[in-house]
């Protein structure tokens, strides 16, 4: 009997020294289920191979390098209900079920902060999600699904999120009153894609090297300001900003540069395009079947072809700065008396043979262009072009002239000594 008691003592001792590894084997899901409402579950560094469902108010936070990974036919993290906070986690979705998101969100008042998503399919899906904030996140895809996809989700905020290599960077459909700001999207199909969603705010986003910077379709009272849509020219249909069936939308202070078409507007009414900087695009601005829009105080600089309009009457196009315009101020009001006509001659020439674009602003081309002038009804006209660039940066660094003085002094001194040596009698 005594021998057995010895054994029991040993077992007890062992149990005390090496407790059963029950907690380590406990899944993240189990810990979430155990946690109280509004509790915080902190995950230690490591890779967690499982899919998680969060359906009550809770904070799930990674401490260090935390990766949650799943290749199943369900989202890696699914969020339901309200007040769920996801923080500092890396989420890897490696499954190949079509359109399967890495993070699925529905409900309201959730926060996704500092989450990096690596996905085979979709990044984050907001499905009937409201008042949700996505901030400081990153989504990297394999061009199979959208980065962040909103469906019937309203009043959400997406801030400072970097998205790359996805289908559409941020796609929203039937989702109103969302705010997208400070996001950076590149190498996607469309950077930002808005469909049938009203009162959207796009502010200070950078969308570059996509097929289209932002595609805004079927919207009212949307504000698009201070964004950068640059280098969207991979495709023959590439655009910086597309406005289709848009109304009462304000597009202001955006930088639209080096795209195939800077701004393309079709079937749009009562919109306002002001103070945009449209430069170095192949076509600065193209209009089709749009009316009653106002285009003013924009700068069109170095575009191969500034503007073109087809079947677009009754638009107000005044007081823009065209660097290609001949300007003459006779009243001293900063407005040129000579109307600016955007001649489509060069466009017509390069449509058939894009290689001819090499002749852009070639000295001989200018001669040819003056000789073969297009008829008036084919051209878009600004009756009062501005004399000076309205979008010029006010804080333009005042270049110091001292370097120039030094340069000119060196040039003059060098050449004068050349003169003297050359003229000296041998």
Partner 1 sequence: MWNIGRMEWRLLMRQYSSYSFVLLWVVILSLLFFIAKNDADFAGYTNVTGTIANIILYLLPLFMLIAGSFAIAGEMENGQWRLLCTYPLSQAMYVAGKWLGQWLGQATLFTFSFGVSVAISSFAGIALPVKWVIALYSFSLFLIALFLMLGLSVGAFTSTRWQALTVSVGVWFLFIMIWPTLLIAVLNIVPYPLIAPLLQAATLFNPAEVLRVAFVVELGGSAIFGQAYDHLIHLWKKKFRLILTVYAIGYLCLLWSMATWKLTRRKQR
Among 125, 209, 233, 319, binds partner 1 (CB under 8 A): 233
Task: Map residue 18 onto helix, strand or coil.
Answer: coil
Among 365, 374, 378, 383, binds partner 1 (CB under 8 A): 365
Would you count residue 359 as binding partner 1 (CB under 8 A)? yes
CA–CA distance, 279 with 300 (Å, rounded to integer): 6
Q: Beta strand 380-382 with 340-342: parallel, antiparallel or unpaired?
A: antiparallel
Question: Which string of b and e fits 77-115 if b means at least 16 CB within 10 Å?
Answer: bbbebebbbbbbbbbbbebeeeebbbbbbbbbbbbbbeb
Among 27, 45, 316, 361, binds partner 1 (CB under 8 A): 361
Strand-pair partners of 229: 207, 256
Among residue numbers 81 through 100, which ones bind partner 1 (CB under 8 A)? none
Nearer to partner 1, 27 or 235 (CB): 235
Would you count residue 254 as binding partner 1 (CB under 8 A)? no
Contact stretch for partner 1 (CB under 8 A) within 21-29, 75-83, 85-93, 275-283: 275-283
Nearer to partner 1, 232 or 290 (CB): 232
Least Å distance, CB 416 to partner 1, is 7
Least Å distance, CB 363 to partner 1, is 5
Q: For residues 41 and 18, is the Cβ–Cβ distance under 8 A?
A: no
Nearest to 278 by CA among 294, 264, 265, 262: 262
Task: Map residue 310 onto helix, strand or coil.
Answer: strand
Would you count residue 304 as binding partner 1 (CB under 8 A)? yes
**3-state SS string for 90-119:** EEEECCCCCCCEEEEEEEECCEEECCEEEE
Would you count residue 326 as binding partner 1 (CB under 8 A)? no
Among 4, 25, 314, 398, binds partner 1 (CB under 8 A): 398
CA–CA distance, 223 with 214 (Å, rounded to integer): 12
Contact stretch for partner 1 (CB under 8 A) within 28-36, 98-106, 181-189, 276-284: 276-284
Strand-pair partners of 48: 68
* 154: Cα separation from own chain's centroid: 20
Nearer to partner 1, 48 or 322 (CB): 322
DSSP state of 336: -
Would you count residue 357 as binding partner 1 (CB under 8 A)? yes
Would you count residue 53 as binding partner 1 (CB under 8 A)? no
Least Å distance, CB 402 to partner 1, is 9
Residues contributing to the site for partner 1 (CB under 8 A):
231, 233, 236, 257-258, 260, 279-282, 301-304, 323-324, 327, 349-350, 353-368, 387-389, 392-393, 396, 398-401, 403-405, 407-412, 414-416, 418-419, 422-423
């Amino acid at each position: 009997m005594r021998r057995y008691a010895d054994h029991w003592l040993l077992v007890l001792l062992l149990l005390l020294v090496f407790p059963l590894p029950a907690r380590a084997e406990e899944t993240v899901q189990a810990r979430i289920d155990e946690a109280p409402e509004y509790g915080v579950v902190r995950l230690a560094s490591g890779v967690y191979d499982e899919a998680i469902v969060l359906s009550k108010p809770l904070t799930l936070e990674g401490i260090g390098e935390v990766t949650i990974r799943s290749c199943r036919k369900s989202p890696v993290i699914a969020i339901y209900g309200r007040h769920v906070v996801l923080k500092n986690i890396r989420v890897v979705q490696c499954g190949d079920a079509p359109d399967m998101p890495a993070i699925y969100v529905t409900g309201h008042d959730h926060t996704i902060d500092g989450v990096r998503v690596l996905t085979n399919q979709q990044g984050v899906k907001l499905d009937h999600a409201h008042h949700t904030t996505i901030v400081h996140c990153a989504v990297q895809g394999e061009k199979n699904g959208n980065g962040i996809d909103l469906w019937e989700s309203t009043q959400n905020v997406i801030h400072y999120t970097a998205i790359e290599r996805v289908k559409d960077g941020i796609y929203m459909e039937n989702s109103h009153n969302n705010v997208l700001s400070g996001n950076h999207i590149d190498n996607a199909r469309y950077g930002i894609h808005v469909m049938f969603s009203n009162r959207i705010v796009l502010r200070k986003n950078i969308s570059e090297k996509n097929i289209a910077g932002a595609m805004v379709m079927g919207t009212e009272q949307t504000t698009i300001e201070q964004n950068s849509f640059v280098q969207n020219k991979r495709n023959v249909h590439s655009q910086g900003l597309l406005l289709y069936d848009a109304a009462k939308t304000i597009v202001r202070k955006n930088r639209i540069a080096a795209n195939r078409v800077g701004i393309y507007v079709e079937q749009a009414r009562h919109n306002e395009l002001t103070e945009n900087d449209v430069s170095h695009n192949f076509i600065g601005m193209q209009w089709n079947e749009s009316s009653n829009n106002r285009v003013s105080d924009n700068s069109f600089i170095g575009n191969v072809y500034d503007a073109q309009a087809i079947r677009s009457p009754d638009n107000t196009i005044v007081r823009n700065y065209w660097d290609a315009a001949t300007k003459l101020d006779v009243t001293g009001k900063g407005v040129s008396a000579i109307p600016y006509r955007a001649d489509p001659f060069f466009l017509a020439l390069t449509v058939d043979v894009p290689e001819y674009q090499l002749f852009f602003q070639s000295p001989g081309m200018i001669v040819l262009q003056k000789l073969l002038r297009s008829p008036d009804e084919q051209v878009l006209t600004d009756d009062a072009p501005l004399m000076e660039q309205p979008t010029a940066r006010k804080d333009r660094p005042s270049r110091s002239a001292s370097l120039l003085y030094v340069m000119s002094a060196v040039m003059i001194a060098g050449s004068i000594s050349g003169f003297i040596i050359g003229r000296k009698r041998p």
